[in-house]
Amino acid sequence: MIYSEEKSAGLAVPLIVILLAIAGIVAVLVAIGDRHDSTAGRVWVPQAQQQGAGQ
C-alpha cells in the first residue's frame, strides 16, 4: 500500500511539469504569432509587363 501512494505522488509531479512546459511553449508561440502582421506570410510575385507595341 505504501508503494502505490508513492507512485501516485511521484507520477503527479512529472505530469505537472510536462503540462507547464506545454503551456509555456504554447504561450511563446502565441506571443511570436501576435508580433507578425498579416502580410508577413504573403509572397510577392512580379507580373509580366504588357507591351503595347506588339499589338
Over residues 3-40, the pLDDT tens digits come to: 655 555 577 888 999 999 999 999 998 888 766 555 55
Query: DSSP letters of 1-55?
Result: -HHHHHHHHHHHHHHHHHHHHHHHHHHHHHHHHHHS-GGGG----PPPPP-GGG-
Q: How far apart are CA 11 and CA 32, in angstroms?
A: 32
The size of the chain, in residues, is 55
Q: Is 0.85 topped by the overall pTM? A: no
Question: Cell for 12?
Answer: 503527479
Q: What is the pLDDT of residue 47?
A: 85
